[in-house]
Chain A
């Protein structure tokens, strides 16, 4: 049944919205992207080192270290929620991953004997199936993130607690659990699969840092999910008008739980990647990263009131933060200025958006 796209209506009174007044051109993401481009040009002239391959790799790697979690928190922000527990979640997942990896790699232990055995020389540990330990330990790390995300979602969607309070509590709970399981010492990835682990988290492919590749894949997946699936549509609808979403029969509770789970998983994955780069998962890892992550999302155009946001914005926000940090270092400005500047940029970005929406 072919439906004619030819308009059965004549639009005599309703003009078409101009192209620069719609889509990305009318969004905060759009002009933050412009600001970023301008900043890159300035950096190019300010420092000859900025556009060198080494520095670019560095920048790409550094922003990838918060960008995956930013993608996750953007989901939550679009629904009009907030997740403050991402920093703690990063640490806890990383810690569980490396602890499980170490535990499974000890030949004598109960769990370890299933996975590893001693080589003929009696010193080298060999894995029965190479990569299996890595897989199990990463799944364990993501598993705890999944549980925390489900708990967040349950408290917020089913019990109706405020997202701010719930995730503030979760921030403390998860951080505390991290100290409990590690005794405050932190943990290190070890065993026969440790090399795979480092390769998978902080290596590079043809000069491109692995975390950056993950980021691109996840961002593309997120773009498809947000704009081309009914789940994504419901996420936006929820942020735009929660009551309307409920009245039209959208499974509000399920969508909410899902976004908190996605956010926690993204944070967990991010934490595991960071620990690969650090070479350990210290108990104070990623402290207060939730603020960087949320700041990046907001600078990139995600609206804390809900209904607006996307993967491009999340990445642009992260890149902008990293370029500023990197630029200040190259310009030999004290790095203490960074935080101040980030704060100024958050307010500026939101202010400009406010002025723009008043004008149209």
Chain B
């Protein structure tokens, strides 16, 4: 996968969204290239989640167009977004507590073995693949353990492992480092680097400035439903980004 590929994985043009009288997003343009890590920052209510949900297919935008790998797409359901190669790691992780780690990783796309007309789950293959993925993430997570009994970092690993199953071309992570230990933050950031190496575009939605500056190539700042800044990371500073988030600086 060539990094010089000029076609952006994702291109947003004039995206807007209204909920009744509330304007949640207004005229957002954005591009993400393959293998690029973009940090999406903003205060609560700045429109980050709405933007993510539009890209993930949870909402239809009221205005504007989404182009994926050069062609216009319309997502009616999250499944549509997944089908083209957009994966989301949700903040609340969207895991089923009562299932095992492997079951959660493969939820909705279980591996099966055919026995005549009946397709039964291939537990062994799923456990092996899940263990491999956890190994890649360097997470000490046993595929057969219930998610209920896991730590925050392990849950994160399960949720991220899920995105690695499919050949996702864009992975959006909603606050992946918010609820985990320092050591596990390192692991998650390491994973983001590994996704990047493989040409996967990553959008990191985070409040944690150090994390964004550690892994992102570019940072996008949202405020009051609008994009206020879109800068390569080496041309900005945490101070400037903070000023943009709080509104001390209007735009950059």
Best-surrounded residue of B82, B109, B140, B154 (most CB of chain A within 10 A): B140
List the 4 shortest-distance A-B pairs measured between CB atoms, nearest first.
A8-B135, A240-B96, A307-B98, A244-B94
Within 11-66 of A, Cβ neighbours of B (below 8 Å) are at 11-14, 16-17, 22
Please state if B96 and A230 are interface contacts (CB–CB under 8 Å).
no
Task: Identify the stretch in A126-134, A245-253, A256-264, A346-354 within 8 Å (CB) of chain B at 4 or more residues.
Answer: A245-253
Please state if A250 and B140 are interface contacts (CB–CB under 8 Å).
no
Contact of B78 among A10, A230, A240, A249 (CB under 8 A): A249
Cβ-based interface call for B110 (8 A):
yes
Task: Identify the stretch in B12-20, B66-74, B126-134, B223-231 within 8 Å (CB) of chain A at 4 or more residues.
Answer: B126-134
What string of 1s and 0s marks CB contacts (under 8 Å) between B96-117 and chain A?
1111000100011110100000
| A-B residue pairs in contact (CB < 8 Å), sample of 6 | A12-B140, A22-B146, A244-B95, A245-B107, A247-B78, A248-B162
Q: How far is the CB of B17 from chain A (nearest CB, A)?
A: 19
Q: How far is the CB of A303 from chain B (nearest CB, A)?
A: 9
Please state if A244 and B78 are interface contacts (CB–CB under 8 Å).
no
- Identity of the chain B residue whose Cβ is nearest the Cβ of A227 in the assembled complex: B121
A360-B118 Cα distance, complex, nearest whole Å: 38
Q: How far is the CB of A220 from chain B (nearest CB, A)?
A: 14
Contact of A249 among B82, B98, B118 (CB under 8 A): B82
Q: How far is the CB of B139 from chain A (nearest CB, A)?
A: 7
Cβ-based interface call for B209 (8 A):
no
Please state if B140 and A229 are interface contacts (CB–CB under 8 Å).
no
- Inside 8 A of B88's CB, which chain A residues have their CB? 247
- Inside 8 A of B109's CB, which chain A residues have their CB? 249
- Identity of the chain A residue whose Cβ is nearest the Cβ of B81 in the assembled complex: A249
- Inside 8 A of B94's CB, which chain A residues have their CB? 241, 243-244, 247-248
Cβ-based interface call for A237 (8 A):
yes
- Identity of the chain A residue whose Cβ is nearest the Cβ of B149 in the assembled complex: A17
Assuming the contacts A9-B140, A229-B121, asked whether A240 and B97 have C-beta atoms less than 8 A apart, the reply is yes
Cβ-based interface call for A188 (8 A):
no
- Inside 8 A of B82's CB, which chain A residues have their CB? 249
A229-B145 Cα distance, complex, nearest whole Å: 19
Please state if B112 and A230 are interface contacts (CB–CB under 8 Å).
yes
Contact of B121 among A8, A233, A237, A308 (CB under 8 A): A233
Please state if B110 and A230 are interface contacts (CB–CB under 8 Å).
yes
Contact of B110 among A4, A7, A233, A243 (CB under 8 A): A233
Q: How far is the CB of A110 from chain B (nearest CB, A)?
A: 38
Contact of A9 among B121, B123, B138, B162 (CB under 8 A): B138
Contact of B142 among A12, A16, A250 (CB under 8 A): A16
Please state if A248 and B107 are interface contacts (CB–CB under 8 Å).
yes
Please state if B98 and A308 are interface contacts (CB–CB under 8 Å).
yes
Cβ-based interface call for A197 (8 A):
no
Q: Please list the residues of chain B having a beta carbon within 8 angstroms of any beta carbon in chain A.
A: 78-79, 82, 88, 90, 92-99, 103, 107-110, 112, 118-121, 123-125, 127-129, 131-132, 134-136, 138-142, 145-146, 149, 154, 162
Q: Please list the residues of chain A having a beta carbon within 8 angstroms of any beta carbon in chain B.
A: 3-5, 7-14, 16-17, 22, 224, 227-230, 233-234, 236-237, 239-241, 243-250, 307-308
- Inside 8 A of B103's CB, which chain A residues have their CB? 233, 236-237
Other A-B pairs beyond A229-B121, A245-B108, 10, CB < 8 Å: A8-B136, A9-B135, A11-B142, A233-B121, A236-B103, A237-B107, A240-B97, A248-B107, A249-B108, A307-B98
A230-B139 Cα distance, complex, nearest whole Å: 26
Assuming the contacts A8-B135, A9-B135, asked whether A236 and B98 have C-beta atoms less than 8 A apart, the reply is yes
- Inside 8 A of A8's CB, which chain B residues have their CB? 131-132, 135-136
The A interface is mostly helix, strand or loop, or mixed, namely loop
- Identity of the chain B residue whose Cβ is nearest the Cβ of A357 in the assembled complex: B148
Q: How far is the CB of B159 from chain A (nearest CB, A)?
A: 10
A230-B120 Cα distance, complex, nearest whole Å: 7
A207-B229 Cα distance, complex, nearest whole Å: 81
A295-B51 Cα distance, complex, nearest whole Å: 46
Q: How far is the CB of B168 from chain A (nearest CB, A)?
A: 13
Contact of B120 among A10, A11, A229 (CB under 8 A): A229
- Inside 8 A of A14's CB, which chain B residues have their CB? 140-142, 154
A10-B136 Cα distance, complex, nearest whole Å: 12
- Identity of the chain A residue whose Cβ is nearest the Cβ of B107 in the assembled complex: A248
A329-B107 Cα distance, complex, nearest whole Å: 48
- Identity of the chain A residue whose Cβ is nearest the Cβ of B131 in the assembled complex: A7
A194-B96 Cα distance, complex, nearest whole Å: 49
A16-B132 Cα distance, complex, nearest whole Å: 18
- Inside 8 A of A7's CB, which chain B residues have their CB? 131, 135
- Inside 8 A of A9's CB, which chain B residues have their CB? 131, 134-135, 138-141
- Inside 8 A of B132's CB, which chain A residues have their CB? 3, 8
Q: How far is the CB of B64 from chain A (nearest CB, A)?
A: 23
Please state if B129 and A3 are interface contacts (CB–CB under 8 Å).
yes
A230-B119 Cα distance, complex, nearest whole Å: 8
Please state if A233 and B99 are interface contacts (CB–CB under 8 Å).
yes
- Inside 8 A of A247's CB, which chain B residues have their CB? 78, 88, 90, 94
A257-B162 Cα distance, complex, nearest whole Å: 27
- Inside 8 A of B145's CB, which chain A residues have their CB? 17
Q: How far is the CB of A67 from chain B (nearest CB, A)?
A: 24
- Inside 8 A of B140's CB, which chain A residues have their CB? 9-14
Please state if B125 and A250 are interface contacts (CB–CB under 8 Å).
no
- Inside 8 A of B90's CB, which chain A residues have their CB? 247
Contact of B97 among A10, A12, A233, A307 (CB under 8 A): A307
Please state if B96 and A236 are interface contacts (CB–CB under 8 Å).
yes
- Inside 8 A of B96's CB, which chain A residues have their CB? 236-237, 240-241, 244-245, 307
A243-B91 Cα distance, complex, nearest whole Å: 13
- Inside 8 A of A224's CB, which chain B residues have their CB? 120
